[in-house]
A and B are shown apart, each in its own frame.
Chain A
Amino acid sequence: MELEAAKMIGAGLAAIALAGAGVGIGIIFGNYLSGAMRNPSAAQKQFPNLLLGFALAEATGLFGLVIALIILFAF
């Protein structure tokens, strides 16, 4: 196989990591919302934790994207 083609396929495979980030962000916001519906008075206090969890979940997916960018542009 050509090196260029292999790089494209590898970058595409690395970007699959973002699917996990999507699932994680969905779980975080879904659970926050269901928790906030049950106990609205406690919701505001947990908002910083929501943002923290969102950022941590998103970052793991973005690591995969960084690998894809490295494969495409750094090699």
Chain B
Amino acid sequence: MASPLKQFTIEPILDLNIGETDISFTNSSLWMVITALVLIIFVAVGTRRSSIVPGRWQSAVEYFYQVVADMVRDNVGSGGRPYFPFIFALFMFILFGNLLGLIPGSFTFTSHLAVTFAMAAFIFIGVTLIGIFTHGLKFFSLFFPHGAPIVSAPVLIPIEIISYFSRPISLSVRLFANMTVGHVLLKVIGGGVVALGSFYILPGIVPFMALVAITILEVMIAVIQAYVFAILTCIYLNDALNLHH
């Protein structure tokens, strides 16, 4: 039986090279394109003939819009409205990527640290720049908790700086690790179903039921992780825009 980690191999579909750099179109890129297309079709067709009383498809799109709009309003406040399209696109892209990755035989691009870290690094740099452009040098008061005694500064400031710079790492590793571990678990238990079920029908049913339960759990994790990624982006944005308020 193939290793449970074989599902994460990246295979080039179209070999492309610029000088020494390999920019091949891989199965990872293919699934990102598929995710973006499914997302565009879902949102565009859902709102194409929008009516005041929404149909089934339009309600589904409006539900997602509502969830993200509430998230931005509760966590960032009115200053976050210009960033709503970005958060919405981010949430939907990760959500659809996670969910499409659960289809057997497909590829989960969020299970690669390269993908999640690129997203987290862009968010980190963008949020830091937004903070510096809105507040100027006052932005660096973020590294000293409001109201703490000034004597504690030599201890608190290094801790705050380390915690600030570990944000992109924790943000990306959380999504990557959840997706990788979930898919490995599905594969390992699926291997158990095949190994037991091909010899005896009855013992194969028990791990199969476990597999069904874990698939439901994985769908839940896929939604929760997309939600958490978006909500943490909102919290970081709130720190940069509102500085401890």
Q: Which residues of A contact B (CB under 8 A)?
A: 48, 51-52, 54-56, 58-59, 62-63, 65-66, 69, 73
Contact = CB atoms under 8 A, between A and B. Distances in A.
B228 interface: yes
Given A48-B71, A58-B178, A73-B5, A63 B173 contact: yes
User: In terms of DSSP, what is the predominant structure of the interface of chain A?
Assistant: helix
B219 to A, nearest CB: 15
Given A65-B181, A73-B5, A59 B227 contact: no
State the main secondary structure of chain B at its contact with A.
helix
Contact of A62 (B177, B228, B231): B177
B225 interface: yes
Interface size class of B (residues with CB under 8 A): 10 to 19
B167 interface: no
A48 to B, nearest CB: 7
Given A52-B232, A55-B225, A63-B170, 6 more contacts: A55-B174, A56-B228, A59-B178, A62-B177, A62-B178, A65-B177
Contacts of B232: 52
Contacts of B228: 51-52, 55-56
A59 B180 CA distance: 13
A54 B224 contact: yes
A52 B174 CA distance: 12
B170 A59 contact: yes
Nearest to B184: A69
Contacts of B180: 69
Contacts of A59: 170, 173-174, 177-178
